[in-house]
Structure 1
Amino acid sequence: MKNCSTLFLASLTVLLLNTSCSSTSKTVSASNSAPAKSIEASGYDAALAQQLGADEYGMKQYVMAFLKSGPNRDQDKTVAAALQKAHLNNINRLAEEGKLVVAGPFLDKGEVRGIYIFNVTSIEEAQKLTETDPAIQAGRLVMELHPWYGSAALMQVNDTHKKLEKKNVAE
């Protein structure tokens, strides 16, 4: 009977060790003190991460632009409205091309008028894109550009937005 108990305990120990070792190979730990979390349980999607350009933290590099009031804001209402429409059309074009991930105005009418988040990795690339904006060309707006590190999930904002908008802002 003692041999059967020893054999049972040895078998149970081997089973537990095998289970523990196989689940340990599927875990990731954020730090040495944090409990391990299963990749499967986290919802990690390797294909989506690769598609969106995510690094191991689910992040990627962008360039953020602060749109500021430019030196030439004295256009009459008709010209200002035409520039605004052309500015919005340019935003839509850059979004369709996948170069502009997020754009929007600030609502406080201050010096900083809005933001862009460009899907590029250099200030030079973003600068070339800002130069296509008619409001920039006219001096109505100026851009301040900064490299920025944010969630790769932002790459899905434009597709989701299309499902939410009843009317396009440029219309």
Structure 2
Amino acid sequence: MKTLYSILFLCIVGISLSACQETPHKREYNQELALKLKADQYGMSQYVMAFLKRGPNRNQDSITAAQLQKAHLKNIMKMAEEGTLVLAGPFMDDGDIRGIYIFNVESLEEARRLTESDPAVKAGRLIMELHPWYGSAAVKEVNAIHNQLTKKSIAE
């Protein structure tokens, strides 16, 4: 599953970068889709990216840490189902930045409220660093595509 998230992240970055490049021979503009995804003239949208970082309180026992992780994953699934979280995934190394969220929300304040709902954040196991981000409007379709590829939920 971690590999899938890493691949999706790399694909999204690639989509975002290619959306900024001139490739007229590959462009097939779909106005209906652009309107549905609220894309600007470049096929892009504004998001809020969150970097999930190690928090100051990581001294939970293994059972409590596992319960927090499960609750964290359930919260991710809930936000994805609501459409406010369009991409999430862990980093594969053991650095201080543990993962990312990309929120499809109007403001940093709304993203902050959503991050504060995360049980791992509430427990101090994670902290969030939020940034406005400009990327491909196609990012909004990742969850629908991901659902077609998923045999088992990460929150089980």
TM range (shorter): 0.7 to 0.9
1:127 to 112, 121, 137: 112
Structure with higher Rg: it is 1
> Equivalences for 1:76-115 in 2 at 5 Å?
76-115=61-100
Deviations 1:87-129 (A, max 9, x none): 0000000000000010000010110000000001311110000
- Asked whether the 8 Å contact 1:59–1:152 carries over to 2, the reply is yes
Residue in structure 2 matched with residue 163 of structure 1 by the alignment: 148
- What TM-score comes out, normalization by structure 1 length? 0.76
Q: Does 1:74 align with 2:55?
A: no
Counterpart of 1:153, as a letter, is A
Q: Which SS does the other structure have where 1:42 is aligned?
A: coil
Q: Gaps (5+ residues) in structure 1?
A: 1-29
More relative contact order in 1 or in 2 (CA 8 Å, sep 6+)?
Answer: 2
Q: Does 1:147 align with 2:132?
A: yes
- What TM-score comes out, normalization by structure 2 length? 0.83
Sequence identity (%): 64
Q: State the 1:42 CA deviation.
A: 2.7
Residue in structure 1 matched with residue 15 of structure 2 by the alignment: none
Structure 1 residue ranges (4+ consecutive) displaced by more than 2 angstroms after TM superposition: none
Question: What do you get for the CA RMSD once the two structures are aligned?
Answer: 1.8
Deviations 1:28-77 (A, max 9, x none): xx9xxx89x59xx7310101001011000000000000000000000001
